[in-house]
Amino acid sequence: MSISSRFAVGVHILTLLEVNKGGVNSSEFIAGSVNTNPAVIRKIMGMLKKSGLINVRPGIAGADLAKDLSMITLLDVYKAVNVVQEKELFSIHENPNPECPVGRNIQDTIGPLFSSAETAMEKALGNVTIADVVKDISKKEKLNTV
Amino acid sequence: MSISSRFAVGVHILTLLEVNKGGVNSSEFIAGSVNTNPAVIRKIMGMLKKSGLINVRPGIAGADLAKDLSMITLLDVYKAVNVVQEKELFSIHENPNPECPVGRNIQDTIGPLFSSAETAMEKALGNVTIADVVKDISKKEKLNTV
DNA sequence: TTGAAATGTAATCAATTTGATTACAAGTGT
DNA sequence: ACACTTGTAATCAAATTGATTACATTTCAA
């Protein structure tokens, strides 16, 4: 299984808010860039808003970043869109046999190990910001334009 | 979404093969410890076998480890049970708008970033072996027995 | 103040995945 | 020959995803 593309879309949205900050970033406009339904965008924007990453208001078209580009990490987005619940990247089978030495301990033993791996992944996400994403896209655009 | 418990069950199986290496580790016995259906165990064992982690033969009851405990990492198990396809821990939305600067570059930009995070996670899994798991369970058992 | 336009949010739907279950062919040893 | 086990496919309910539709609520301008 893969982690929901809601995460990638969240990054897309934030990036677009910056790149198109001169224009009106309505859910419909963003949906056109992402290529999905405006309602999907609004749902994700609601999550980004709830986490304090963007400003959006009912009735008013458009949204913008609530923080500096360089202060928003991919981890912030990842957490915001709830693609994985805390400590649940890896699921562990429930109700193993308590009468078996392995069964009665396996959960407590691998739980922390799985958490460490999950944390390592999150740490990597925390080292990248939306500013980095915008910068990379700018670089790619310049190369394509030459 | 969470990664399939097939991974956790895979670790459980390998651990049990060691802890109960004196006995006959049939799919039925293992299923009793994991608390699931024998067919589920056989399917996972088939994957572990295909990756060279265990020995199992048709018609012959039981299985055993094909390598030294300390030479089997959680990453080996993770790869063996196919819970996540290569470079696909994070899914990225398809068909973003090619007429938008963000849309036409977002995939190539976040792809490598997501891969790095995925690799960080895998590296953490690679640092732990089944021997470590067995050792931890032994420790817990001794504490419980006192 | 009326109406157009946008956000917020819920409900529904098809597609996909998971784990459980059943069934049975094929291999093995007594 | 027979009992037992593995290998494997098919089926099924439950859960999740993303798309879609619908509509209440909010805002602002005419």
A68/chain B closest Cα distance in angstroms: 19
Footprint of strand D on the protein (CB under 7 A): A 4-6, 35-40, 57-60, 83; B 1, 26-28, 38-39, 42-43, 45-46, 49, 56-63, 91, 93
Cα separation, B10 vs B78, in Å, equals: 8
Is residue A118 within 8 Å of B125, Cβ to Cβ? no
Check B117 against A125: CB less than 8 A apart.
yes
* Residue numbers 5-64 of B with CB closer than 7 A to any atom of strand C: 5-6, 35-40, 57-60
Query: Which amino acid would we find at residue A36?
Result: T
Contact B120/A116, CB-based, under 8 Å? no
Q: Is the pLDDT of residue A145 over 80?
A: no
The reported pLDDT for the residue numbered B84 is 94
d(CA A5, CA A38): 15
Tens of pLDDT, residue by residue over B99-108, are 999 999 999 9
- Cβ separation B106–A1 shorter than 8 A: no
Cα A98 to chain centroid distance, Å, stands at 38
Is B83 touching A (CB cutoff 8 A)? yes
Rounded to whole angstroms, how far apart are CA atoms B21 and B13? 11
Taking contacts as CB-CB distances below 8 angstroms, the residues of chain B near A36 are: 93
Type of residue at A25: N
Q: Does B3 touch chain A if contact means CB atoms closer than 8 Å?
A: yes
Q: Cα distance from B59 to chain A (closest Cα, Å)?
A: 25
Which residues in chain A are closer than 8 Å to B20, comparing Cβ atoms? 102
Residue B60, Cβ neighbours under 10 Å: how many? 10
Residue B143 pLDDT: 77
Mutation site for A-interface testing, chosen from B102, B104, B129 by largest number of A Cβ within 10 Å: B102
Q: Which CATH architecture has domain A6-145?
A: Orthogonal Bundle (1.10)
Confirm if B73 and B128 have CB atoms less than 8 A apart.
Answer: yes
Residue A74: which pLDDT band, with cuts at 50, 70 and 90? very high
> A136 — contact with chain B (CB < 8 Å)?
yes
Give the distance, in angstroms, between residue B134 CA and nucleotide C25 C1'. Answer: 36
Distance separating alpha carbons of residues A50 and A56, to the nearest angstrom = 10
Do B34 and A93 count as a contact with CB atoms less than 8 A apart?
Answer: yes
Fill in the amino acid letter for A54: I
pLDDT at A92 over 70: yes
Delimit the domains of chain B by residue range: 6-145
Question: Mean pLDDT across the stretch A109-114?
Answer: 97
| Dihedral angle of Cα A84, A88, A92, A94, to the nearest 10 degrees | -100
State whether B124 and A106 contact (CB < 8 Å): no
**Angle formed at CA B124 by CA B119 and CA B127, multiple of 5 degrees:** 125
pLDDT score, position A1: 79
Residues A19-45, mean pLDDT to the nearest whole number: 96
Per DSSP (E only), the strands in chain A are: 54-57, 60-65
Gap between the Cα atoms of B107 and B100, Å rounded: 12
For the cut 80, the answer to whether the pLDDT of residue A144 exceeds it is no
pLDDT tens per residue, range B56-100: 999 999 999 999 999 999 999 999 998 999 899 999 999 999 999
Angle between helices B106-126 and A6-19 (to 10 degrees): 140
Which amino acid appears at position A6 of this protein?
Answer: R
- What's the pLDDT tens digit per position in B110-140? 999 999 999 999 999 999 999 999 999 999 9
When the pLDDT of each residue in chain B is averaged and rounded to a whole number, the result is 95
Q: Do A140 and B108 touch (CB under 8 A)?
A: yes
Instruction: Using pLDDT thresholds of 50, 70 and 90, give the confidence band for residue B21.
Output: very high
Beta strands in A35-106 (DSSP E): 54-57, 60-65
